Amino acid sequence: MKKILTAEDDKEINRLICEYLSSQGYETLSAPNGLDAVRIAREQSDLSLIILDLMLPFRSGDMVLQKIREFSDIPAIVVSAKSETHSKIELLRMGADDYITKPFDLDELLVRVEAVLRRYEGNAAKTEEKKVLSHKNLTLDPISGTAEVCGNALTLTGKEFAILELMLKQPAKLWSKANLFESVWGEDYLSDDNTVKVHMSNIRQKLKNLDPDNDYIETVWGMGYRLLT
């Protein structure tokens, strides 16, 4: 069950938010002031999200956000009666994930909570996907951007690394030139030029230099490239 902290000094608003979110399947905690909000955020390492009012006693919401960002990247939705664009922009720059202006509808708050959680979980999943990839004697580390063959450093350009990363993530896939070009260069593939062919040739040569006994990439005539198993 996802746990949400509501930092709001208005007892009635705090109660309404907590009761509503509880009815939607969330576990809720509440903080009546900024000091408690920081303390709870620090103590509750399994918090999923904070709903943070700006006008809090002892420590304002923007100060709470700044303090929390020193030790956590937990998603935060700021709630405020201020509707000025510059206030929203400043808070988003400080690390808020969304901003909702009072008065607000509880159903709207729920939609925003769900959207922020989806984005956060999606980003976390992408980070998790960036684990070390391997094929035969080749290993790629997407986080550090390094590659090795037979324990020796493999020097790659950014585009060469991106090509191998794509192929190692889907080792059974047959990649056409258009697939590779559009995925790596981020542009439409409009003509059958030699860009992908040249990069693939360079990758093969670099792999062969470090591991002459193995072939890693197969050309499927008229169709594209795939990893050799």
> What local confidence, expressed as pLDDT, does residue 188 receive?
82
Instruction: Tell me the CATH number at 142.
Output: 1.10.10.10
Contacts of 155 (CB under 8 A, 6+ apart): 206
Q: Are 138 and 149 in contact (CB under 8 A)?
A: yes
Structure tokens belonging to residue 195: 């860009």
> What local confidence, expressed as pLDDT, does residue 9 receive?
93
| Same-domain check for residues 164 and 97 | no
| Same-domain check for residues 38 and 84 | yes
For 62-70, which contacts have Cβ atoms below 8 Å and span 24 or more sequence positions? Answer: 62/90, 62/91, 62/94, 63/34, 64/7, 64/34, 64/37, 64/38, 65/91, 65/94, 65/95, 65/96, 66/94, 66/95, 67/38, 68/37, 68/38, 68/41, 68/95, 69/94, 69/95
| Same-domain check for residues 147 and 108 | no
Mean pLDDT, to the nearest integer, of 66-75? Answer: 88
| Same-domain check for residues 120 and 139 | no
| Same-domain check for residues 218 and 158 | yes
Burial class (CB in 10 A: 0-12, 13-18, 19+), 139: middle
| Same-domain check for residues 116 and 7 | yes
| Same-domain check for residues 21 and 74 | yes
**Does residue 201 register a pLDDT over 90?**
yes
| Same-domain check for residues 78 and 177 | no
Residue ending a domain, choose from 97, 129, 161: 129
Domain range for residue 208? 133-227
| Same-domain check for residues 125 and 53 | yes
Q: Give per-residue pLDDT as tens, 145-192.
A: 899 999 999 999 999 999 999 999 889 899 999 989 988 988 888 776
| Same-domain check for residues 114 and 184 | no
**Does residue 129 register a pLDDT over 80?**
no
Residue ending a domain, choose from 129, 156, 189: 129
Strands (E), 63-106: 76-80, 98-101
Where residue 127 falls among pLDDT bands split at 50, 70, 90? low
Overall number of domains in the chain: 2
Mean pLDDT, to the nearest integer, of 193-205? Answer: 92
Give the CA distances from residue 56 to residues 133, 201, 202, 221, in Å, rounded to whole numbers and listed in that order.
47, 61, 60, 67
| Same-domain check for residues 116 and 12 | yes
Mean pLDDT, to the nearest integer, of 5-11? Answer: 95
| Same-domain check for residues 158 and 193 | yes
Residue ending a domain, choose from 129, 154, 181: 129
Q: The dihedral of CA 124, 74, 120, 110: what is its sign?
A: positive
Instruction: Tell me the CATH number at 88.
Output: 3.40.50.2300
